[in-house]
Chains A and B, each alone.
Chain A
Amino acid sequence: STVVLIFQAPMSNSSKEVSSASDFNFSVKRGDKIRVGEAIGR
């Protein structure tokens, strides 16, 4: 079984190409074992 999560979140304005503190960043890597309640991103 699989869960696919799709969501809107703040991102860098591509024209500036500068990441800011308000951008969404994933905190996981591919292949990571993750458990309910652990952050996937901030």
Chain B
Amino acid sequence: STNSSEGNSFLVPGATAATILMLGALHARRLYEDKKLEEARDKGIDMEFKPDVKATVMRFLPLRSISRCWGYLSSIELPIWLRPHVYKAWARAFHSNLEEASLPLDHYASLRDFFVRSLKEGSRPMDADPKCLVSPADGIVMRFGEIKGAGAMIEQVKGFSYSAISLLGTNSALPLIKEDNSSEDDSCFEFTSKLERKRSWWKVSLASPEVRDPAQRPVKGLFYCVIYLGLGDYHRIHSPADWNVSVRRHFPGRLFPVNERAARTIGNLYIENERVVLEGRWREGFMAMAAVGATNIGSIDLFIEPDFRTNRPMKTKLLFNSKPEERPYEPTNTGVALRKGDEVAAFNMG
């Protein structure tokens, strides 16, 4: 008995020190890799897609359960005296701006409440140019460009692409791309509201044949922009323009991390992860916005559909069903009208 207790008293600190050292080494390696990645990006070097063992192992982890567990832990109510310390530590670690929070720090009961905080009035002024599209979220611009080719492929990273239709769903009204990379446009009028649409209908009906000549219409292309939200970023999503959302689709799926490293190592990342797609039209035609979840940020709330929930326990065969749950918004043909800057959704912790 004495021998055994002596052995334990030696082993426990040794094992703890070894674990701390190992975690420290892993963290240092991660920081080094992140720095290398940032330097490469600054030099304009495009990192190529390269699957690794870690990505393969991730497929076998119960990431949805881990995410829900994290959500449960982060929603535990903290004592009032502890709240400012925890949130300040979080802000230091992930570079959040606490001065923008709409409430005093001790008013956020849990880390989860703090994470989805709203901002003080006027913290995010909208670009007033009516011809511009604004960013729907705080984050880093990962990719952007024109969607080209009949397959309407979007580049995840150099050497790996996924199709826009897989991201949005086969029922999507995504316009077909022609040989010259322009897209089909079935409407030659703008609309942001039912009334405006009615007015435009009159404008079109009464227009002279010259105005309706297809050659006079501007050629439309399809474009995309991918924005990655870091842990310290403000996690609410706003409307990028005045537009009408006609349908919402929910794709249950995995909850892989979606950071830059994951994008480089996990194929089909955005079309395998759980996501919510809002689709509709803006003044220039088609518009869709996909909010893609991740392990930390497992669930998505929609302010235009308060009863809607994601990241719920589900049978595996339903998780990877290619047919999403779809909900058309009323009234038919116009859906929900959103103004530029309106709050649309929020990413929750877990």
A residues neighboring B (CB under 8 Å):
1-15, 22, 24, 26-42
Contact = CB atoms under 8 A, between A and B. Distances in A.
26 contacts: A3-B229, A4-B154, A5-B226, A5-B227, A5-B240, A6-B164, A6-B287, A6-B288, A6-B290, A8-B220, A8-B221, A8-B286, A8-B287, A9-B133, A9-B220, A9-B284, A9-B285, A13-B219, A24-B221, A30-B41, A30-B142, A32-B140, A35-B124, A37-B124, A40-B132, A40-B141
B69 interface: no
A9 B223 contact: yes
B22 interface: no
Nearest to A8: B285
Interface of B: 38, 41-42, 124-127, 129, 131-147, 154, 164, 167-168, 174-175, 180-183, 185, 218-229, 234-238, 240, 258, 270, 282, 284-294, 296-297, 341, 347
Contacts of B135: 34-40
Contacts of A39: 127, 129, 132-135
Contacts of A41: 132-133, 223, 225
Given A2-B258, A26-B225, A38-B135, A31 B140 contact: yes
B57 to A, nearest CB: 22
Contacts of B219: 10-13
Contacts of A36: 124, 134-138, 234, 236, 238, 341
A7 B129 CA distance: 18
Nearest to A35: B138
B180 A1 contact: no
B132 A42 contact: yes
Given A5-B240, A6-B286, A10-B220, 17 more contacts: A1-B235, A1-B293, A2-B142, A4-B225, A4-B289, A6-B174, A6-B288, A6-B290, A7-B222, A8-B285, A8-B287, A10-B221, A24-B221, A28-B144, A35-B135, A38-B127, A41-B223
